[in-house]
Amino acid sequence: MKYDKKMINRINRIQGQLNGVVKMMEEEKHCKDVVTQLSASKSSLQRLMGIIISENLIECVKSVDENDEDSQEIINEAINLLVKSK
């Protein structure tokens, strides 16, 4: 699978969020603020995983068409990725 620049930029933003959380913890900020930032990071990761999984599913479907492989097995792999991401 090819990962585009937007996906990498998302990871960089998430890293920035997590670095901010570390700083907040070192500065002993209120737990509500820390959890809010952690929640935002988690949501960002989940969105990115959804994008990656959907791209993978598209590639799997194309692969089935091109290679005449067992379509059910390929679709099951994509579904397993989706379930694992939750």
- 3-state helix/strand/coil string of the chain: CCCCHHHHHHHHHHHHHHHHHHHHHHCCCCHHHHHHHHHHHHHHHHHHHHHHHHHHHHHHHHHHHHHCCCHHHHHHHHHHHHHHCC
* Whole-number Cα distances in Å, 14 to 28, 59, 85: 21, 26, 17
69 pLDDT above the threshold of 60: no
Tell me the two tokens of residue 56.
Answer: 């993978």
Res. 76 pLDDT band, cuts 50 70 90: confident
Q: Which domain holds residue 59?
A: 5-84
Other CB atoms closer than 10 Å to residue 17's CB: what's the count? 17
Query: pLDDT per residue over 15-34, tens digit each?
Result: 999 999 999 999 999 999 99
pLDDT band with cut points at 50, 70 and 90 for residue 7: very high
- Answer whether 9's CB lies under 8 Å from 64's CB: no
Q: What is the CATH number of the domain that holds 35?
A: 1.20.58.1000
For the chain, the domain total comes to 1
pLDDT tens digits for range 30-62 = 999 999 999 999 999 989 988 888 888 777 777
